[in-house]
Amino acid sequence: MKKTNLLVLALSLSFATAYAQTGEEQILNSAPINVDGYLAEERPVTDGELEQIRSELNKQKTGTKLNKEKAKDLGKLTNQTEKLIDSQEEYIDQKIESTQAIKDFNQKYEENQKKLRCIMEESDSAECDPFKNKYRKNKKVEVEQQIQVQQAAPVVSTAEVAPSTGTGTFEQIKLLPYAGGTTYSGETEELEAEIAAGLRLESNINSRLSLGIGLNFAQLKTTDFAHNFYGNYGGGYYNTYGAQGREIQYKSMGLDLYGKFFITQGERFRPYLGAGLGYQKANMKYSNNDSYNPMGAQFGGEEFDSSHATGTLMAGTEIMISRGFGINLELAYSSGLGEMGSEDAKNPYNSPDQKRLQELGNEVINSSALSIFAGAVIIF
């Protein structure tokens, strides 16, 4: 019996020990519980020094980022401060200028008031004497002028007087040098001048009309193709003067009186129409004046001088580059109005080439001439 009880006690202790171990394992292996009764998250096991290093790195990163943001904000603040300083300086300058202007105005106002009091004889100080004397002198001159006007012109005109524009009669003088080309067209001949130039002096009558006087010069050369002397004088003529014929020189110089009407009154472009009368003195001679006298004929030394009147029509424009200088373009047509005199160096009856010069000279005199000129306008 005693043995049986010991065996039961031993078995009970074994079961109790096993159950206690099982319960302890369950408690150790169970999930942790926070104070509120809920399960707490598992925390990884870390080293304390490593966590401190990581915390410092995070602080440095955060500080660096904050410093960058601060630097940006400081830059913006600096620019705004500079602009504010500039605006304040500008305001100060304007304030100083306006203050000085007000000061000058007040000073001028005080001076005018002082002058007015002196003139009105409210003050008898010595510094008022210059103002009083000047006022009395001006008043005396004004009264004298009124008396003279009343004596000279008792009837006063109410018409308005236009301001002077500097275009009164002969107030403006122009110098017009020009050059160009001229073609002479006669009944049988058409000749072109090598040189055609001139100089004009012109002055205004009013803003649209002007009168002028001019000198002109023209020169041309041509070959006498129409002589046909071979049958009469044989080959000696061509041996002396060449098979192509003798070269003729023509020179003309003249004087013109003309008038112009300006179509518009523009300051830069001034187109015009004009007309004039002229006197021309011309000379015609052969370039080769070697003497050749076959069969009683006389060759060499021929010359023909003539004078004649001309009429001219012109159209052109002045293009002003500045107030005193411009360009003149002109188209002119002129025609001979009749011979006024001529002189032959030799007798045309026994000098065949003298007769040729006379015929050609008369044709040029009675021809029509078309000219194109370009020149300058110089205003004095």
Question: Among residues 253, 246, 188, 185, which one has the least CA distance to residue 221?
Answer: 246
Domain shared by 219 and 299, yes or no: yes
**Residue 123 belongs to domain spanning:** 96-141
Per-residue pLDDT at 163: 38
Per-residue pLDDT at 23: 52
Distance of CA 6 to the CA centre of its chain: 138
Distance CA 356, CA 285 (A): 10
Element (H, E) at 205: none
Structural domain contains residue 360: yes
Per-residue pLDDT at 330: 97
Domain shared by 135 and 192, yes or no: no
Per-residue pLDDT at 62: 87
Per-residue pLDDT at 235: 62
Per-residue pLDDT at 84: 83
Domain shared by 302 and 217, yes or no: yes
Structural domain contains residue 343: yes
DSSP string, 242-280: -TT--EEEEEEEEEEEEEEEES---SSEEEEEEEEEEEE
Domain shared by 104 and 184, yes or no: no
Angle in degrees, CA 148, 152, 153, rounded to 5: 115
Angle in degrees, CA 222, 227, 231, rounded to 5: 150
Structural domain contains residue 185: yes
Per-residue pLDDT at 218: 94
Low pLDDT (below 50) residues in the chain:
27-28, 37-38, 40, 149, 152-166, 230-231
Domain shared by 112 and 217, yes or no: no
Domain shared by 226 and 308, yes or no: yes
Amino acid at 148: Q
Write the CB contacts of 312 (distance below 8 Å, at least 6 apart in sequence): 256, 258, 275, 276, 277, 278, 332, 333, 334
Element (H, E) at 320: strand 303-320
Domain shared by 242 and 125, yes or no: no
| Buried/exposed 61-82: b ≥16 CB within 10 Å, e otherwise | eeeeeeeeeeeeeeeeeeeeee
CB 345 within 8 A of CB 303: yes
Which DSSP letter does residue 34 get? -
Structural domain contains residue 22: no
pTM: 0.52
CA 72 → CA 59, 61, 82, 86, distances in Å? 20, 17, 16, 21
Domain shared by 182 and 330, yes or no: yes
Distance of CA 22 to the CA centre of its chain: 114
Domain shared by 318 and 371, yes or no: yes
Domain shared by 126 and 181, yes or no: no
Residue 176 forms beta bridges with which residues?
A: 200
Distance CA 191, CA 182 (A): 9
Domain shared by 276 and 196, yes or no: yes
Tell which of 85, 120, 141 closes a domain: 141
pLDDT tens per residue, range 154-171: 444 444 433 334 457 888
Per-residue pLDDT at 15: 55
Residue 300's CATH number? 2.40.160.20
Which DSSP letter does residue 3 get? H
Distance CA 193, CA 184 (A): 8
Tell which of 141, 165, 197 closes a domain: 141
Q: Per the structure, how many domains does the chain have?
A: 2
In degrees rounded to 5, what are phi and psi of residue 367? -80, 170
Domain shared by 274 and 132, yes or no: no
- Exposed, middle or buried: residue 110 (CB in 10 Å: 0-12, 13-18, 19+)? exposed
Tell which of 120, 141, 162 closes a domain: 141
